[in-house]
């Protein structure tokens, strides 16, 4: 498994895999296979994939530590950028199909509807994370400030769940929301447990693999 993760073809394979949902949605839109309301289907599907990739990103560190597979960290940056890619497509789909790229209407809609305001706030917070997901940004910010900035992902995860919850509250349908909320709560709870455990252990006994939790 570790050899596969370190293989030169591993990153291109992960990249193509992450792009498959977009390719499928693009094809389905062209082939008119998105149902009676293709605009709504596209907006919701891209939102779902944003949340799924966010869960995957948050799962990288626990999987890396638990399985003792440091090579998994190689894919975290790419996966994080795919979160931004899908949220950007989600926002563009809403702006185009729902609002016709009318900026004034979009601003009014954001202010009027709390679930859109929360989702837009999550997008804004994701933007500096995507913009600094490169080695040059880490060097300019310094590792400590860069890590502090990227801890915003935890707040973003909460805003994403709240956005989804409010969006589904109109139909009183919270089944999927509960699944995503449970996954994110478990992933964040693992980090809290790890930090609490590290504080209780003597400094010399802390495992190296758990020294960086993001």
Q: What is the mean pLDDT of residues 160-188?
A: 93
Q: What is the mean pLDDT of residues 203-213?
A: 45
The b/e string for 174-194 (b: 16+ C-beta within 10 A; e otherwise) is eeebeebbebbeebeebbeeb
Q: What is the pTM of this model?
A: 0.90
Digit-coded pLDDT (tens) for 154-172: 999 999 999 999 999 887 8
Parent domain of 151: 2-210
Task: Quote the DSSP letter at residue 173.
Answer: -
Query: Is the confidence at residue 205, as pLDDT, over 60?
Result: no
Structure confidence at residue 172 (pLDDT): 81
Q: What is the mean pLDDT of residues 141-150?
A: 94
Domain count, the chain: 1
88 and 120 Cβ atoms separated by less than 8 Å: no
Structure confidence at residue 40 (pLDDT): 94
Q: What is the mean pLDDT of residues 89-96?
A: 97
Query: Is the confidence at residue 133, as pLDDT, over 90?
Result: yes
* Per-residue pLDDT band at 97 (split at 50, 70, 90): very high
**Measured distance CA(183)–CA(27) in Å, rounded:** 30
- Alpha helix ranges (H) inside the chain: 2-6, 10-30, 38-67, 76-93, 103-112, 114-131, 135-141, 143-150, 152-169, 175-200
Q: Which carries the bigger pLDDT value, residue 195 or residue 92?
A: 92
Place of tokens 């949605």: 25
């Amino acid at each position: 498994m570790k050899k596969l993760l370190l293989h030169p073809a591993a990153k291109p394979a992960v990249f193509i895999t992450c792009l498959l949902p977009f390719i499928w949605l693009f094809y389905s839109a062209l082939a008119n296979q998105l149902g009676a309301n293709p605009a709504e289907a596209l907006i919701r599907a891209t939102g779902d994939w944003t949340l799924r990739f966010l869960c995957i990103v948050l799962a990288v560190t626990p999987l890396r530590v638990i399985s003792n597979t440091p090579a998994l960290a190689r894919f975290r940056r790419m996966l994080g950028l795919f979160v931004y890619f899908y949220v950007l497509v989600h926002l563009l789909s809403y702006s185009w199909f729902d609002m016709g790229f009318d900026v004034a209407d979009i601003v009014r809609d954001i202010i009027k509807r709390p679930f859109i305001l929360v989702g837009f706030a999550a997008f804004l917070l994701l933007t500096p994370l995507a913009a600094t997901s490169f080695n040059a940004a880490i060097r300019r910010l310094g590792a400590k400030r860069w890590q502090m900035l990227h801890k915003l992902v935890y707040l973003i995860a909460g805003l994403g769940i709240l956005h989804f919850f409010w969006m589904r509250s109109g139909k009183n349908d919270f089944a999927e929301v509960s699944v995503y909320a449970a996954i994110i709560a478990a992933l964040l709870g693992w980090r809290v447990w790890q930090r609490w455990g590290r504080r209780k252990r003597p400094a010399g006994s802390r495992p190296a693999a758990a020294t960086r939790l993001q």
